[in-house]
Chain A
Amino acid sequence: MADEFIKGLTIATAGGLGWMVLAGWYRTSSFESAAQLVEPVTVEGPDLFNGIAIALMDVLLWFAILGALAFWVLIPVGRELRATYDERRSS
């Protein structure tokens, strides 16, 4: 159980950190803005690296959310279900 927790926490923090940095680059006009990190994307020049970073931003965000969800909710629920199923079958 503790292993699953630390896996989910690692994914959430590492993915969230990467997303925060990229969103701070591409979606933040000012750090005093109330909508920082979620503003529409502003790019000066559309080159390859900007394209990769913008795509990576969404990938990291969903990785952080879905990864934590998988390790904290889905996998434990699956194990509980399997244990219950085996128990019902054996009894």
Chain B
Amino acid sequence: MTDNNDNTTAETDGGTGIVAPDDETPTWSERKARKTGLSRLTYEYFERSRREDQDLRTESDYVERDVLGFPTWPHETVRNLSIASFFVGMIFFLSATLPPHIGPPANPSSTPAIILPDWYLYWSFGLLKLSPVNPELSILGGQKLMADRTYGVLANVVVVGFIAMVPFLNKGSARRPVEQPFWAAVGVGGVVFAFTISVLAVQNLVPMNIDLLFDLTFLLPIVAGIVTYAVLKTMREGYMYDLNRRYYRLRPPR
């Protein structure tokens, strides 16, 4: 580079030199030599995408205006009508080309061997199988305080209550999981628990020791949450918190 080059170009990465200008793109060996970890990788990733976004905006001839939304008519209405038409057409197409076979009527006098709710209710069904953790209280002489089925129903209350509580504990101001690793870990743990408790509901179909399955049901969510927290906490060092500012704040009038 000579001194005649245009030096007024903005330092888009804060002058750290991690993301090179276009004419100084590092080779693969140079990149490897300077790679120091997940946080650096996170920084490079977001800085690179931000730079691409900025370049695209610079090249574009679209006039940016400070708007908060689009009017309902015609913009939103036409868009929603076209989306609705697409899905209605898809329903017509599939029902015309692949009409489902209508089976024989159910026989009310015979009970099927396996009775299961719909798959999205497996988690609730799995909560009814928590009898191993229904404590036998010594104060009652080894008796259980409540029946296993009552215990399972109350477990539903606990889960629904926790889900109802989360919005009061965290208002969701983070734009990406990396901004709040703890709550992201709680969310990942919840999703994994929803899956494992669903698997517990169909334990007859799982080729695994029932006790091991029961333990994994509660251990896997914790492990997944810890791993998520560790990864996101490591990434957070390289994350730029003002990345999204322009998208969520109106620019001042010129």
Contact = CB atoms under 8 A, between A and B. Distances in A.
A pairs with B: yes
Nearest to A83: B25
A87 B97 contact: no
Contacts of B97: 21, 24-25
Contacts of B100: 31
A24 B28 CA distance: 48
A84 B29 CA distance: 12
Interface string A61-91: 0000000000000000000000010010001
Contacts of B27: 87, 91
B98 A21 contact: yes
A44 interface: no
Given A21-B97, A21-B98, A24-B97, A32 B25 contact: no
Contacts of A21: 97-98
Interface string A20-60: 11001100001110000000000000000000000000000
Contact of B101 (A25, A30, A84, A87): A30
B207 interface: no
B105 interface: no
Given A87-B25, A87-B27, A32 B98 contact: no
Contacts of A31: 100-101
Contacts of A20: 98
Contacts of A87: 25, 27
A36 to B, nearest CB: 10
Contact of B98 (A24, A30, A84, A91): A24
Interface string B1-32: 00000000000000000000000010110000
B103 interface: yes
Nearest to A20: B98
A87 B28 CA distance: 11
B221 to A, nearest CB: 31
A65 B103 CA distance: 33
B97 to A, nearest CB: 5
Contacts of A32: 101, 103
Nearest to B101: A31
A30 B103 CA distance: 10
Contacts of A24: 97-98
Contacts of B98: 20-21, 24
Interface in B70-98: 97-98
Interface string B86-122: 0000000000011011010000000000000000000
Interface in B27-46: 27-28
Interface of B: 25, 27-28, 97-98, 100-101, 103
14 contacts: A20-B98, A21-B97, A21-B98, A24-B97, A24-B98, A25-B97, A30-B101, A31-B100, A31-B101, A32-B101, A84-B28, A87-B25, A87-B27, A91-B27
